[in-house]
Amino acid sequence: MNFVENIFQNLRQSSGRPVLQEVRDGRVVAVTGGDLLASIRAARAFLRRQGLKKGDRCVLLAPNSLRWAAVDFALLAEGILAVPLYARQAPAELVAMMKDCSPSLICCGDQALREAISRQWPDAPPRVLLDEMFAAPGADAGTVGDAPAALADADPVTIIYTSGTSGEAKGVVLNVGNLSHMVPCTGARLDLLMGPRTEPDRVFHYLPFCFAGSWILLLTSLSRPSLLTLSTDLTKLMDELKLADPNYFLNVPALLERVRSGVEEQLEKRGGLARLLYRRGKAAWFRRRAGRSAALDPLWLALARAVVFPAIRKKLGPNLKALLCGSAPLAQETQLFFLMLGLPVLQVYGLTETTGICTLDHPRRVEPGRVGPAIPGIEMKLGQGEEILVRGPHIFPGYWNRPQETAQALRNGWYHTGDQGEVDAAGNWRIIGRLKNLIIPASGHNVAPEPIEDALLRRLPGAQQVLLVGNGRSFLAALITGQVRREQAQGEIDAVNTELPHYQRVRAFQLLAEPFTIENGLLTANGKLKRAHILARYQAEIDEMYRQKVT
């Protein structure tokens, strides 16, 4: 049974039980497995009326919703390739990707999106709103069964466009075999986390389904007894989280960093006994972990665990068992903060080309600072320059219409990730940085910028981004965005420099008023720095930093 058949079987078995719900304006709207199957049938009938057939492409351009999921599963059931795109991305970038995959239909979340696409691409294929697909189901909707089309492992099911940090986005093709391997692997890890249970998992989700890891969570949740709650308003995230009351949810590091800093800022402002117990308890916990406890540490730790830590954890979610985190490295300090509260953060490492996942922390053996062992059934090793190489049934068959790039990425049976890493004796991996991001100053040393950038970000609470520069230059410098004072930046850079070898030290910096964003073209759709674009945009400021330092 492939992953599509398994999902449809689970929906039939859950016909009377809520499986998916969304929060809208503080109100929860839920659908049972039977309700979702009915919506899928309506969407399948619409697709057939539009003349779409197996192997065609259909763009899905909308925020997460119940209807997004119904259309996605309808496409899977019909053997049509879903092309999910990020609704917040610039229309020109969206149109470039759509032209690349030549869709037969474009499904838009709202009229504004449809109009934006029409302005950029007047001759685009038919553009339909999700609401229109379900507004008046045709008479043929009742003739569509629940059984999905017969699919072979090699049949493609989606094209997911990469973030394009260093160039034009490429369409990653994933097939049935890729997903049929991955979904049971993620389900097995969640089984380990949840243990024996009598109730469905309660899962919260706010990350866009157009990203591979986020989509995997949707597929996994609907392949097993779960109730998945979709957030629809990031400005009300904490309120929606309380309504969902989840056992676990998927995160990006930025949110967990904000949660940690927010908790600590509130405690500092509150003062009194709560602040004292938190400070002393945290210090005692970290000293004990380092193996150098002081005499009164057991007392302070016991008091913090009795009074402060449970109160913090309850606010985050009384039934939370763990947090999942991926897309970028998580600061070890933040991972330890949640572990101190009794809430492990399970890190995930992977790329779209690896069906979203290569490694995933074992729920009972979390090693802070690492991203866990390889998932079952795949191989990982280090190649030249400590590049991570991967092979297994989860590796994509290739990029859409890009044979040369496919051949470059897939060599001798191994996928070359472009990431640098290391692995310990227990098989737990750590990600160092991207090979393409390496900075080689005039000294000839290879410098991975990410660890230094992350260290500065942790020490500068007001900073939004830090980008290191210095390729071919005599020293390294940094661009810093956010609310940061010059003397504050200098002090923290000096502190970080003391821990670095001479060739990795930051000798100059420039404060930028405007942050790097998706809208100004300096971040990818999933929030990664477009380094080449940033360097080009701020070339004059970079040159000025080096001139000032020389003079």
Q: Which amino acid is at 296?
A: L
Q: Which amino acid is at 206?
A: Y
- 3-247, CATH topology level: Rossmann fold (3.40.50)
Angle at 270 between CA 268 and CA 271, to 5 degrees: 70
Residue 229: what pLDDT? 97
Q: What is the 3-state secondary structure (H, E, C) of 171-208?
A: EEEEEHHHHHHHHHHHHHHHHHHHCCCCCCEEEEECCC
Residue 253: what pLDDT? 85
Nearest-angstrom CA–CA distance, 152 and 397: 14
Name the DSSP class of 354.
G
Q: Is the pTM of this model over 0.75?
A: yes
Reference 81, options 67, 61, 101; nearest CA is 101
Nearest-angstrom CA–CA distance, 380 and 392: 9
Bridge partners for 107 per DSSP: 60, 128
The domain ranges of the chain are 3-247, 253-318+322-435, 438-550
Contacts of 119 (CB under 8 A, 6+ apart): 91
How does DSSP assign 116-182, residue by residue? Answer: HHHHH-TTPSPEEEHHHHHHS--GGGGG--SPPPP--TT-EEEEEE---SSSS--EEEEEHHHHHHH
Q: Which amino acid is at 357?
A: I
Take residue 253 and report the two structure tokens written for it.
Answer: 């590091």
- Judge whether 14 and 87 are in contact, CB under 8 Å: no
How does DSSP assign 50-65, residue by residue? Answer: TT--TT-EEEEES-S-
Q: Which amino acid is at 509?
A: F
Residue 164: what pLDDT? 61
Nearest-angstrom CA–CA distance, 145 and 505: 64
Reference 119, options 156, 90, 87, 97; nearest CA is 90
End-to-end CA distance of the chain: 69
Backbone angles phi, psi at 96, to 5 degrees: -60, -40
Give the distance, in angstroms, between the CA of residue 414 and the centroid of all CA atoms in the same chain: 24
CATH superfamily of the 253-318+322-435 domain: ANL, N-terminal domain (3.40.50.12780)
Nearest-angstrom CA–CA distance, 450 and 94: 28
Nearest-angstrom CA–CA distance, 257 and 255: 5
Nearest-angstrom CA–CA distance, 4 and 40: 13
Backbone angles phi, psi at 23, to 5 degrees: -100, 125
Place of tokens 């925020």: 63
Name the DSSP class of 1.
-
User: Is the CATH number of domain 438-550 1.20.1250.20?
Assistant: no
Residue 437: what pLDDT? 85
Contacts of 17 (CB under 8 A, 6+ apart): 32, 33, 200
Contacts of 205 (CB under 8 A, 6+ apart): 64, 214, 217, 218, 221, 228, 229, 230, 231, 249, 250
Residue 551: what pLDDT? 45
pLDDT in tens, the chain (551 residues): 999 999 999 999 999 999 999 998 889 999 999 999 999 999 999 999 999 999 999 999 999 999 999 999 999 999 999 999 999 888 988 999 999 999 999 999 999 999 999 999 999 999 999 999 998 666 566 677 789 999 999 999 999 998 665 557 899 999 999 999 999 999 999 999 999 988 999 999 999 999 999 999 999 999 999 999 999 988 898 899 999 999 999 998 878 988 998 899 999 998 899 999 999 999 999 999 989 988 999 999 999 999 999 999 999 999 999 999 988 778 888 999 999 999 999 999 999 999 999 999 999 889 999 999 999 999 999 999 899 999 999 999 999 999 999 999 999 999 999 999 999 999 999 998 888 888 888 777 778 898 899 899 989 988 999 999 998 888 999 999 999 999 999 999 999 999 888 889 999 999 998 999 888 888 887 778 888 889 999 999 998 888 876 54
Residue 115: what pLDDT? 96
Same fold? 253-318+322-435, 438-550: no
Take residue 451 and report the two structure tokens written for it.
Answer: 């660890």
